[in-house]
Amino acid sequence: MNTHRYLFIAALAVVSVPAAELRLPDPLTTTNGTKVTSVEAWRHIRRPEILELFRTHVYGRMPLGRPDNLKFETLENTKGVMDGAATRKQVMISYRGPGGEGAIKLVLFVPGRVKPAPCFLLICNRGPTNIDPIRTVKSPFWPAEEIVARGYAAAAFLNADVDPDRHDGFTNGVHGLFDPPGVKRSPEAWGTLAAWAWGASRVMDYLVTDPDIDARRVAVIGHSRGGKTALWAGAEDERFAFVISNDSGCGGAALARRRPPKAETIAAITRSFPHWFCENYRRYNNREDDLPVDQHMLAALIAPRLLCIGSASEDLWADPEGEFLSGVEASRVYQLFGKDGLKADRQPPPGSPRQEGSIGYHLRAGQHGLTEYDWKCYLDFADRHLRNQKPTSEKPADPR
């Protein structure tokens, strides 16, 4: 190898692809090259096309929506918890497939003074103690007391109830229940992130039946692998009015094409977590430019609904700037709806959240995590944009 070529490769290895040279696919040009200039064309042509591309190449296709046999069983309904501020409910959401039965246990605190209440649904990927219903442990990962004090219901479930976070050849969790037995998996079959997103939609199926909840104002929130899941849940299920991606990184909000030196890449993530995505995704290992989508198009699938992207300054593995740029690039789709997306052309410094438009962004000083500060940003954003979204008596339809 000659020296020039060597230097060129060395330079590539330490600098991410500059924004102007990213050659991102255009959310507003259809696969056959037509420009999308109306909400109708977005809704009926380009949005379904992008959704299908993400199913085929990234997350895989869910084999079913709401199972006919979905059941809700209220295990507990206790008024006057949290010093009288809330009612605690625990609900078992169960389903059956050819491979057996499964269930998600939902923990829900409803504020006594707001009915029906808007709700934050946390996809918890950090074990049961973080969503302790009894509140012996009050984890900053789920500050249920603060959420309730702000007038929102706090709901949470464990991702592992839906599908354990282990690569076992897709035999456990909902894959084992619903995937046709004895049939070779398609390269587009759903991975574990899609399974968790499916679980979030089943929780939504319950929330629309609970008169204490205003199902038109439900936020879905997740951290890291949970943040990737929240984005995909919001893309697949438009009943979520607000989607929150906290430090979601690669396969979440971060642009795959940027490849900054310390960030996770498609090759790295499909090596460490082969079960998260569909099999096709690994075809783009070190070939990000060939992907027909990038993650700003996932953010765009949330339009015109509310979206918050949170990053942490030392969380280079998640590429904070790439997460920010997704929000910026998705904004053009919000503009099509006559809305501001993310009102910032430069990544704001730590501690200066941008919350003016329908896409919020904040950079927190510090490391990877979902902290009280992150929650404060999301609750502030909700106070500004979600709280006054008119509650209606009409329930949103199940998209499937």
Catalytic residues: 224, 368
Q: Which is nearer to ligand GTR, 161 or 264 (CB)?
A: 264
What is each CA distance from 293 to 47, 57, 301, 382, in whole angstroms?
12, 9, 12, 29
Q: Hey, which residues does 117 pair with through a beta bridge?
A: 213
What is the closest distance, in whole angstroms, from the C-beta atom of residue 153 to ligand GTR in the complex? 25
Distance CA 196, CA 89 (A): 21
Q: Which amino acid is at 20?
A: A
What is the closest distance, in whole angstroms, from the C-beta atom of residue 226 to ligand GTR in the complex? 7
Q: Hey, which residues does 214 pair with through a beta bridge?
A: none
The b/e string for 196-221 (b: 16+ C-beta within 10 A; e otherwise) is bbbbbbbbbbbbbebebbbbbbbbbb
Q: Which is nearer to ligand GTR, 241 or 269 (CB)?
A: 269
Q: Which is nearer to ligand GTR, 87 or 246 (CB)?
A: 246
Q: Which is nearer to ligand GTR, 236 or 247 (CB)?
A: 247
Q: Which is nearer to ligand GTR, 225 or 257 (CB)?
A: 225
Distance CA 399, CA 189 (A): 20
Q: Which is nearer to ligand GTR, 312 or 325 (CB)?
A: 312
What is the closest distance, in whole angstroms, from the C-beta atom of residue 264 to ligand GTR in the complex? 5
User: φ, ψ for residue 119 (rounded to 5)?
Assistant: -140, 145
Q: Which is nearer to ligand GTR, 178 or 378 (CB)?
A: 378
What is the closest distance, in whole angstroms, from the C-beta atom of residue 162 to ligand GTR in the complex? 15
Whether residue 190 contacts residue 364, with contact meaning beta carbons closer than 8 Å, is answered with no
Per-residue mark of binding to ligand GTR, 268-307 (x: CB under 6 A) = -x--x-----------------------------------
Per-residue mark of binding to ligand GTR, 203-232 (x: CB under 6 A) = ---------------------xx-------
Which residue of this chain has its Cβ atom nearest to ligand GTR in the complex? 224
Interface with ligand GTR, residue 322, by CB under 6 A: no
CA 52 to chain centre: 17
Tokens of 237: 């299920």
What is the closest distance, in whole angstroms, from the C-beta atom of residue 272 to ligand GTR in the complex? 6
Residue ranges of alpha helices (H) inside the chain are 3-14, 39-41, 47-54, 144-149, 159-162, 173-178, 192-207, 225-236, 266-272, 295-300, 320-336, 372-385
Sheet hosting strand 213-223, strand order edge to edge: 71-81, 86-97, 100-111, 153-158, 117-124, 213-223, 242-246, 306-312, 359-364
Distance CA 145, CA 153 (A): 10
What is the closest distance, in whole angstroms, from the C-beta atom of residue 224 to ligand GTR in the complex? 3
Q: Hey, which residues does 379 pair with through a beta bridge?
A: none
Per-residue mark of binding to ligand GTR, 245-274 (x: CB under 6 A) = ----xx-------------x----x--x--
Tokens of 71: 């059941």
What is the closest distance, in whole angstroms, from the C-beta atom of residue 291 to ligand GTR in the complex? 17
Site size for ligand GTR, by CB under 6 A?
A: 7
Per-residue mark of binding to ligand GTR, 94-133 (x: CB under 6 A) = ----------------------------------------
Binding site for ligand GTR (CB under 6 A): 224-225, 249-250, 264, 269, 272
